[in-house]
Chain A
Amino acid sequence: MKVRYLKLDKAEGPIIIMDEVKDAVYGEVVDIEMSNKEHRMGKVVQIDRGKVIIQVFQGTSGISLNGVSVSFSGKPMEIPMSSEILGRIFSGMAKPIDGAGEIYSHKNYNINGRPMNPVARLYPRNYIQTGISSIDGLMTLIRGQKLPIFSGDGLPHNQLAAQIVRQARISGEEVASFVVVFAAMGIKHDEANFFRKAFEEAGVMSRVVMFLNLADDPVMERIITPRCALTAAEYLAFECDMHVLVIMTDLTSYCEALREISSAREEVPSRKGYPGYLYSDLANLYERAGMLKGSKGSITQIAILTMPNDDITHPVPDLTGYITEGQIVLNRSLYQMGMYPPINILPSLSRLMKDGIGEEYTREDHPDVANQIFSSYSRVQEIRALAQIIGEDELSEIDRKYMEFGRQFEEQFAKQDFEEHRDINQTLELMWELLRILPEQELTRIDPSLVKKYFRK
């Protein structure tokens, strides 16, 4: 029989410390049985001779130093996977919470995953049409990409994510294998319900796997939730050959949980109290997106994070931006002006777009036109700043055209109804429509032959 240890040395916040433990394994999962027979789960995070530091996912409240019994499993956390998980709802620790019974499988998967060998990766090259003009036209989502949404409290990031789930299209015959894995970390019940309803309305509920750690669930479980979700995604993508869209929200809550455990362990903090390994830790989540040689499936990640104080230089969005392949940035003042989706296109970016659009995928003019819109719209910002000072009437003729371009861009192009689906050709035509407001010689980013073909028709 397994040894059970009966005495703790210290219990504080999310941490318990035990002494005289033999043979502890770094990273192994432990089972903690409390005096009322409740079981909690923990993980060994440090070993120092006999002294073992264990992080308890459900927190230590109610734990007494003498009344518990702890057993060590010798293994990292593993969860069972089978294609039965589709349509199911799990807790943040991958326990079924929809009353439909346990998942049975002969195979368990380590939730920590392993780094993908760069040689085994397949470079993502095909796009996903989201039906949202700003995204499809200017920051195209590529199959196998990790493209987060940088949002703020109270901005409609959930609607945007739901709209993407409802409208996302990949090329025709593969639609059947398109599934969604949803990981919630510290979001509110009504937000979780919103997503559930949105999935039902979109008729995709049977192709969704949900992992829910809600705002009133134990904070430390949040560290496990995305790992369970990504393990499910890897299983579906690389063993069942499905195209998986992973939606994770809210990464800021995840990072705060990480900070809490770090400060409980008295680690040296780096920026804003976050641990020095925040970058590596986030990378362990984000880098699990992608495609593999020899598998038909793909993992596309849309992580949602709320920027504290709308500050894009805050460590969470900052480090995320360095790892992910671009970002979609939502903007409060656009939203206050009544714009949906309130995407600020200038700081937004899709790094993989260059290889997944153009002649073979969307249309030959797409790269140049997108480039031109970015450059013209950034000129609009300069002119608007000037117009605020000297008044619009004093602007030169060309500047007034830019002002008009800016207005039309926001009204006709960026603004879109929650229910509205525009295909890629509609989006590209709208982009040319906008550029026709400007004189031809302003189109310095577009190859002259394309101007000839599309501008003057």
Chain B
Amino acid sequence: MTRQGNIIYINGPVVKADHMEGFMVREMVMVGEKKLIGEVISLENDLGTIQVYEETSGLRMGEKVYGTGKPLSLKLGPGIIGNIFDGIERPLSKIYDSGFKFIPEGIGLISLDEKKSWDVEILVKPGDILKSGEVFARVQETSMIVHRVMVPPGIKGKVVSTVKSGSYTIQDTLVVLDEDGKKYELKMYQEWPVRQPRPIVQRMPIEKLLVTGQRVIDTFFPLAKGGTAAIPGGFGTGKTITQHQLAKWSDADIIVYIGCGERGNEMTEVLEDFPKLKDSNTDNPLMDRTVLIANTSNMPVAAREASIYTGITIAEYFRDMGYNVAVMADSTSRWAEALREISGRLEEMPAEEGYPAYLASRLAAFYERAGYVKNLNGSEGSITVIGAVSPAGGDFSEPVTKSTKRIVGVFLALDRDLAYARHFPSINWLSSYSSYISILKDWFEKNVASDMMTLRSKMMRILQEENKLMDIVKLVGEDVLPDDQRIILEVARIIKTGYLQQNAYHPQDSYVAPSRQYSMLKVIDRLYDRAYSCVKKGIPLSKVKDEKLFSDIIMMKYNATEAKSGLFQELTDRINHYYDSIENLYKEGRADES
């Protein structure tokens, strides 16, 4: 049977064709003479509705639709890391190398480089029994990542033959399996439909911190490996910089960065910067652990809808190898808008603000693909999903933010007022939350310090206290408050400028390890305790607040270099010394003479 549809309707990315009886829902199709790539989204009698992943201008009525017989799938194998793909895994660098500075239509379904040779180390021998997911070969894909070539899910059997370790392309058969007479030829790559989560053995409890080196996140709103987080914020509040910081510094093994409906220059920035930035532990370029998926805001909208799934499927593939993967999606709102646009063109009944009724369930299904899991091959891996949300008008009650808030574990609310004051990261400490704090308590005790979380709650209390006091200050000014309240304002100011604010462009401050975060907290805590007790003893605030000491503590984030590791001790000593001396002064009643 020749499976060919016949185009009868075109409206933006939505195309309808008749004679589509033989097609499947979610089947990948080629549309028109240019063979644009599309996906069947619904069938009714002989009529099929298709969303097209490329620009449809120039498509003619009556052109054909060709089936491929399989759902929209990705090729998963060596060549992914360090690369940049469009929303359906077509390598943009290869498109550029073929002479396209602008993205043309109809370039077909190209994917991983099939000509490149990889050094393969075969790990099995004839006679071995392999299960689904088991690793049968290794490839050093980049300086940082060993690609563990796995038996695809659903396939198992006895090894009949293998090639020798050596240089092969992804098209070469490496191992032949036999299951009850059925032969499988295993290559370096496998295919997997993007919309289907890859199978696992079971989910494991979340218990490890995803170290990001960002003080406000690690200390106050920690992320967990296998957890989910949302970063909502209006334009200009620093979503993208926060995402870039997480991509640069978080201690995941692999970063999948999905630029979904955002600016072209931002992707270019990552492409130019990451190869130059070095990983703090291994000194290898950060690009060697990064995958970029780019669907910029002017690229076709249907591919934007797919880009999120492409990204998470790649993440799952590396998770199956036993890696900790972090997925940054910037921004999930653009993905939701793509859903809305397609839904509108399908003339579906809109729910809130024109979004389709299935928005919340699609969002939930996406975030649920995160997790800390036991893989088919027995290894453990994780996917952490961090999605930026761009609420219309900066209003957090809009549907995408609302639906996301219900699902995620960490909510990092970016605040316009903080951003206007250039307080970055502009994460609002009063409206953000992390539900992983109690789960991560043990991790902090074991890996940082036993009182880290106690300190956190103490600092949080000071900040909350300050917020209440500021309501009064806004009405009557600071001077009328009693000294024991004014000292809270002063310490809160140190926490805000000296600790919560972090300069992404300062070499000392861009990344701060949790142990150093702890040391900084300890200094602030000591200052607060000593200053507060002095105030309680009746010593006036003007004496308690030593300008030089306070400003040196604010600046400690810039001054604590590797070479000056003793700075925190030095500051603690200075605090002790200073308050010892004024306490003595007042005890002896000689204050007025000094």
Enumerate chain A interface residues (CB-CB to B < 8 A). 21-28, 45-49, 76, 112-124, 144, 238, 267-271, 275-277, 279-280, 283-284, 286-288, 290, 292-294, 313-315, 318-319, 321-323, 325-327, 346-347, 349, 351-352, 354-355, 367, 371, 374-375, 378-379, 382, 385-386, 389-390, 394-396, 441, 444-445, 447-448
Bound form: Cα–Cα A290–B297 in Å: 14
Please tell me if the beta carbons of A270 and B58 are within 8 angstroms of each other in the complex: no
Bound form: Cα–Cα A279–B421 in Å: 28
Interface code B62-91, partner A: CB below 8 Å = 1, 0 otherwise?
100000000000000000000010000000
CB-CB < 8 A to B234: which residues of A? 318, 321
Please tell me if the beta carbons of B301 and A124 are within 8 angstroms of each other in the complex: no
Please tell me if the beta carbons of B10 and A47 are within 8 angstroms of each other in the complex: yes
Please tell me if the beta carbons of A113 and B354 are within 8 angstroms of each other in the complex: no
Please tell me if the beta carbons of B57 and A26 are within 8 angstroms of each other in the complex: yes
Please tell me if the beta carbons of B271 and A119 are within 8 angstroms of each other in the complex: yes
Instruction: With both chains docked as a complex, state the minimum distance between the C-beta of A352 and any C-beta of chain B, in angstroms.
Output: 7
CB-CB < 8 A to A121: which residues of B? 264-265, 267-268
Whether a CB of chain A sits under 8 angstroms from the CB of B479 is: yes
Segment from B196-204, B389-397, B526-534 that makes contact with A: B389-397
Between A and B, how many residue pairs show CB distances below 8 Å? 224
Please tell me if the beta carbons of A23 and B92 are within 8 angstroms of each other in the complex: no
Q: Considering the complex, give the chain A residue whose CB is closest to the CB of B237.
A: A349
Please tell me if the beta carbons of A396 and B478 are within 8 angstroms of each other in the complex: yes
CB-CB < 8 A to B547: which residues of A? 441
Bound form: Cα–Cα A269–B343 in Å: 12
Bound form: Cα–Cα A75–B355 in Å: 33
Interface code B241-270, partner A: CB below 8 Å = 1, 0 otherwise?
000000000000000000101011101110
Whether a CB of chain A sits under 8 angstroms from the CB of B415 is: no
Please tell me if the beta carbons of A118 and B92 are within 8 angstroms of each other in the complex: yes
Whether a CB of chain A sits under 8 angstroms from the CB of B344 is: yes
Q: Considering the complex, give the chain B residue whose CB is closest to the CB of A124.
A: B265
Given contacts A22-B61, A115-B298, A323-B263, contact A313 B395 (CB under 8 A): yes
Q: Considering the complex, give the chain B residue whose CB is closest to the CB of A281.
A: B298
Whether a CB of chain A sits under 8 angstroms from the CB of B284 is: no
CB-CB < 8 A to B479: which residues of A? 394, 396
- From residue 85 to 125 of chain B, which have CB atoms closer than 8 A to chain A? 92-93, 95-96, 100-104
Please tell me if the beta carbons of A448 and B58 are within 8 angstroms of each other in the complex: no
Bound form: Cα–Cα A28–B127 in Å: 63
Interface code B503-526, partner A: CB below 8 Å = 1, 0 otherwise?
001100000000000000000000
CB-CB < 8 A to B559: which residues of A? 448
> Can you give 20 contacting A-B residue pairs, CB < 8 Å?
A22-B62, A24-B60, A45-B11, A48-B11, A49-B8, A112-B57, A118-B268, A121-B267, A122-B268, A144-B265, A270-B353, A279-B334, A286-B297, A287-B297, A313-B392, A318-B392, A327-B235, A352-B265, A378-B421, A382-B474
Please classify how large the interface on chain B is, using the bins under 10, 10 to 19, 20 to 34, 35 or more: 35 or more
New contact pairs (7) apart from A268-B343, A346-B421, CB-CB < 8 Å: A24-B61, A47-B10, A48-B9, A117-B96, A270-B354, A313-B392, A386-B474
Bound form: Cα–Cα A322–B392 in Å: 9
CB-CB < 8 A to A385: which residues of B? 474
Residue from A144, A270, A313 whose CB has the most chain B CB atoms within 10 Å = A270
Partner of B392 from A116, A315, A325, A347 at Cβ < 8 Å:
A315
Residue from B59, B61, B271, B505 whose CB has the most chain A CB atoms within 10 Å = B61
Q: Considering the complex, give the chain A residue whose CB is closest to the CB of B273.
A: A123
Segment from B404-412, B430-438, B550-558, B584-592 that makes contact with A: B550-558
Q: Considering the complex, give the chain A residue whose CB is closest to the CB of B102.
A: A114
Please tell me if the beta carbons of A119 and B96 are within 8 angstroms of each other in the complex: yes
Whether a CB of chain A sits under 8 angstroms from the CB of B385 is: no
Bound form: Cα–Cα A327–B235 in Å: 10
Top 5 closest pairs, chain A to chain B, by CB: A27-B57, A313-B393, A283-B297, A378-B421, A321-B235
